[in-house]
Amino acid sequence: MSDVRHVLVLPDRDAAEEAAEALGGRFGLDEEPRLVRDALAGEDDAEDAQWLVVLHDADDRLDPAALDAFAGEWDGWREEP
């Protein structure tokens, strides 16, 4: 068992929530993704925040390219570790 995590970076909270909800059905996740607000450096305004969807992939079975394409559906991307 490994401790692989994937991080999807999305432009806003709505996109992150929609993506997190769709992830389970598309990829058959064992646990709920975690949403994290990531304020851009030096910015206090919520408008300048990205949202992260963090996925735990203990069995290392999720395809990084498929996750990147999935995040792209919400104008996001998968962050490289």
Q: Residue 46: its pLDDT value, please?
A: 55
Q: Give the pTM.
A: 0.85
Q: pLDDT tens digit string along 54-76?
A: 999 988 889 999 999 999 999 99
Report which of 18, 4, 5, 6 is spatially closest to residue 74, judged by C-alpha positions: 18
pLDDT tens digits, one per residue of 1-58: 457 899 999 999 999 999 999 998 899 888 899 999 987 655 555 556 899 999 999 8
Report the SS3 class of residue 12. coil
Q: What is the pLDDT of residue 45?
A: 55
Distance CA 42, CA 39 (A): 8
